[in-house]
Amino acid sequence: MRKPRYYYESNFYHIMVQGDEKKYIFQNSQNKEKYLYYLKHNAIRNDVEIVSYCIMDNHAHMLLFCPKIERISKMMSQCNTSFGLYYSKKRKNVGHVFRDRFKMESIYTKMHLINCIKYIHNNPVKAKICKSPEEYYFSSYRDFSKLDNRLQEIIDISNEEIKDILRNSDTITRFLDDEYSKDDKIKAFKELSDEYQYNKDDISSIGKMYVKLKETCRINDTEVAELLGMPRTSMNEKLKKLGIK
């Protein structure tokens, strides 16, 4: 029996899917177009907004908006099942197409969201497929300057912020296929602690550090509490008072 997924309240989610054993399931334009079709079709069916995406050869990233997490799970299940059937029939293949259902992480703050969009669009550059994000066809980069007013309002983003996203792909945040070591997390905590003058006796300081650590590191709550120097239950009580959890 699969364990239930658990996420803190967030309307934005970064999703990654990957071929089983990292196989190149999107290795040609036809496969990428087919997956993108299923992605967009099932997003509409489940009332999910696609903020950004990038389809690579053996994996895909997307940033989704939806107030109800169960809709995203349903959408991704439908999308991956449809593509899996298509791919297996085309390749006369028996077995798993995807490595697992999908990976997902919550996006906690606006800067986290902006970094995620940059990260997704920069995937082909990072893989040395092209020199700039705009050269890659199977991503939302070139459409991002033409966001409709409704989506722009949903993600609460200005025209200047859109321009910054398009001209600067640098991001300090690591996401699903990047890992932080324990030393990385300790270093990040020390830098943030100095920058924001962390005081564990100040509830607002605890809240700020929690958000910043979630924003810049792939880190769970037990690790955050350990770095903040308090039991997890005590940290959670303080975060609830701040309305963070």
Residue 37: its pLDDT value, please?
Answer: 96
Q: 120-131: per-residue pLDDT in tens?
A: 999 999 888 999
Q: What are phi and psi of 108, to 5 degrees?
A: -95, -35
Q: 24-48: per-residue pLDDT in tens?
A: 888 899 999 999 999 999 999 999 9
Contact criterion met (CB below 8 Å) for 173 and 215: yes
Q: 86-118: per-residue pLDDT in tens?
A: 888 876 665 567 766 788 888 877 888 888 898
Confidence of residue 4 (pLDDT cuts 50, 70, 90): very low
Architecture of the domain spanning 12-167: 2-Layer Sandwich (3.30)
Sign of the four-CA dihedral 171, 173, 174, 180: positive
Q: 197-210: per-residue pLDDT in tens?
A: 999 999 999 999 99
The full set of domain ranges for the chain reads 12-167, 182-241
**At residue 5, does pLDDT exceed 80?**
no
- Taking the C-alpha atoms of residue 84 and residue 102, their distance in angstroms, rounded to an integer, is 13
- Taking the C-alpha atoms of residue 69 and residue 75, their distance in angstroms, rounded to an integer, is 10
φ/ψ bin of 244: left (φ > 0), alpha (ψ from -120 to 50), beta (otherwise): alpha
Q: 133-177: per-residue pLDDT in tens?
A: 999 999 999 888 777 777 788 778 888 888 888 876 666 556 665
* pTM score of the predicted model: 0.70
- Taking the C-alpha atoms of residue 185 and residue 223, their distance in angstroms, rounded to an integer, is 9
Residue 11: its pLDDT value, please?
Answer: 86
